[in-house]
Structure formats: structure tokens, C-alpha cells
Structure 1
Amino acid sequence: MPSVLGLLEAQEKKVREEVARLREEAERVQAAVDEAECALQRLVDARVTVAEVLAGSPAVAAEPVRIAVAGSVVPPWAEGMEASVLAPGYQPIVLVLESEAGREGMRCQQLAVALGLQTVPAKVVGLRSKAKRLVERGWVLQVRPGVFTALEAQAG
């Protein structure tokens, strides 16, 4: 008859293997999302360039589209842009970081609480990925490893 500890260890090993498999799968999916976003950005850039050439007036064609589109990439931040141009999944993150609660910087677990999300690893990791993408595109700052804040919080 197997021991209870032996059974628990065997079950723990199975679950650890499943967690590792799921993490690898999540990394593959995230890489595919990143690749698709890059392809989408190239297409958007190409469309803007063609519009500029056809219009003959770069000033008119270069005006950024200022609407949120579900599934769209995070555009690089430029002066005068507001969070409303971001995809719906990113807008609340920027708004929370711009709020008084986010002025000193927030960890992703704190962000999850502020956004009303469960603080389970999957949600926190997803928020961290989005926050890092916002940092890469100039929307928010990472003041310390894992701590994010709004641009204005550091300027003022």
C-alpha cells in the first residue's frame, strides 16, 4: 500500500509538470501575439505612408487615428495623446497609474486589486506584460523593477 506522502509527492510532481507545460505554452502564445502586433504595426505604418503619398500632404495623412480599437497594438506615445487611443485592455491600466493611487508607483498585484481583478498569477502576469508594453511604447514608466507609474508622476 503506497504511503500518503508518496501519493502527495507523485501528485505534486504531476501538477508541477503541468504548470511548466502551461507556462511554456503561454510563452509561445505571447510570442505569437507579439509577432502579430509587429506585423499589424508594419501594416498600419504602410497604410499611413501610402495615404501620405496619395494625399500629397504629409500633415493631413500623418494625423494619428484617435480611437480605441479592440485588439489593436499600443501606439507609441506622442505629446497630446490620451489613454482613449489605447486598446480597451490598456486604458484602465494607464488611468489607474494616472490616479492618485498610482502616483508613487504600483506593483502589478496592486494594479490588479485597483482594477478589480483577481490577484491570481495569470491575471498579474497578464498585467505585467501589458504594463511592460506600455513602458516600451512610452505611456508609463517603470521606476523600479516591477513598479510602474504614470509619466506625469515623475515629471511633477
Structure 2
Amino acid sequence: MVVEEGWWMGSLFEELEAREAAARVRVEELEAAIAELSGKLALARDGLERLRVTRETVAEVLAEITPEAATAVVAGTSPEGESVASAYAGAERQVVGVLTVPNWQPGMTSDVLPSLYRDILEVVADAPGPIRAKQIVPRIGLPAETGKIEGTRSKLKRPVERGWLDEEAPGLFTPARRRAAASPNSP
């Protein structure tokens, strides 16, 4: 009987050693995967930082452009009125950030904005008073879903930051006051 118990204990230790070896291999595999993902994360962070710096640089450059030049850039003409061929023609929806909603300057009209922002400004201008994103969404042809309302609320912040709209109280949007008296045809 003693011989059988010793045999059993020997195979138990062999099984534990085999499991430990398998666990060690799995740990090494996971560590290698983590090292690979860490490298990919570092590359992605570098790309993100380059994009952030580029966006800030473009914002600075656009802030220095005169209203006429900014309007011409959006319209695809030179400041002298000559047509300019663009490698980005037809890609207006892919333009991000500052290029989509430029800072409002005297003489600028909503024609420089993408159609969605023009629609939003029109709805805000037509409202009898301050208006909320959930009231704007159905009027611009979107379903009154939480995601669409939140997306529109986010979009409303850009024209506020850039002088096209005012936010009287959190979530209540009106046409920018300083422009209302200056030009009745402005959005």
C-alpha cells in the first residue's frame, strides 16, 4: 500500500509541475502581448500629439486670416476672386475643428459654414426666444434621440465659442447679440 501512495504523490507533483510550466508560458505570452500593445500605444499617442499640435497651428493661422481671405478659402477662390482648385474639393465633411466653423468676424455670413451649421443658425434665429438642443434636433431633420440631441448640443458649442451664437444660460442658445443689430440678414 505504501508503494501506491508514493506513486500517487509522484504523479501529483508531476502534474503540478506541468501546470506551472503551462502557466509560465501563458504569462510570457501575455507579457509579450503587453509589450507589443505598449509600443502601439506609444505610436498612437505620438500621432495624437502631432494632430493636436497641427490643429492648434491651423487655428492660429486661420485666426490671422482676414475675413475676406477666410471667406475666399472656404469658397475655393483666391482673395482676388480667382478660382482655386483644391485637392480637398468635395471633402467638406472630413474637415474638422476650426476649419468647419471659423471665428465670426464683421462682414461674415453663414454662407461660410457647412449646411448643418447654417440650418442650426437658422433654427436659432427663427426661435421666439432661447432654444434648447432638443428643440433644434427635429427642426434640422434628425430623430429626437438622446444621441442626436447630445451631438447637436456639442455642435452648438462651436458656434458659441466662435461668436456665431450666444448661450444665455447652460443649454439655452440665441443668436449672437452683438451681430443682431449690425446686420439683420446675418444668422
Normalised by the shorter chain, which TM-score bucket? Answer: 0.5 to 0.7
TM-score by length of 2: 0.49
Which residue, 92, 100, 104 being the options, matches 1:77? 104
* 2:71 aligned with 1:65: yes
Alpha-carbon offset, residue 78 of structure 1: 0.6
For the residue of structure 1 that corresponds to 2:141, the secondary structure is coil
Q: How many residues are matched?
A: 112
CA 1:142–1:44 in 2, change beyond 3 Å: closer, same or farther? Answer: closer
For the 8 Å contact 1:98–1:153, the answer to whether it is kept is no
The gaps in structure 2 that reach 5 residues or longer are 1-47, 76-91, 182-187
Alpha-carbon offset, residue 136 of structure 1: 0.6
Superposition pairs for residues 5-154 of structure 1, below 5 Å? 39-40=54-55, 42-43=57-58, 45-46=60-61, 63-66=69-72, 67=74, 69-70=92-93, 71=95, 72-99=99-126, 102-152=127-177
CA 1:38–1:95 in 2, change beyond 3 Å: closer, same or farther? Answer: farther
Higher relative contact order (CA 8 A, sep 6+): 1
CA 1:38–1:144 in 2, change beyond 3 Å: closer, same or farther? Answer: farther
For the 8 Å contact 1:106–1:147, the answer to whether it is kept is yes
For the residue of structure 1 that corresponds to 2:70, the secondary structure is coil
Alpha-carbon offset, residue 117 of structure 1: 1.2
Alpha-carbon offset, residue 115 of structure 1: 1.2
Larger Cα Rg: Structure 1 or Structure 2? 2
For the 8 Å contact 2:71–2:108, the answer to whether it is kept is no
For the 8 Å contact 1:112–1:119, the answer to whether it is kept is yes
For the 8 Å contact 2:131–2:172, the answer to whether it is kept is yes
The gaps in structure 1 that reach 5 residues or longer are 1-31, 53-58
CA 1:137–1:113 in 2, change beyond 3 Å: closer, same or farther? Answer: same
Task: For 2:121 and 2:63, locate their aligned partners in 1 and report how far apart those are by CA, in whole Å.
Answer: 26
Task: For 1:75 and 1:126, locate their aligned partners in 2 and report how far apart those are by CA, in whole Å.
Answer: 19
For the 8 Å contact 1:140–1:150, the answer to whether it is kept is yes
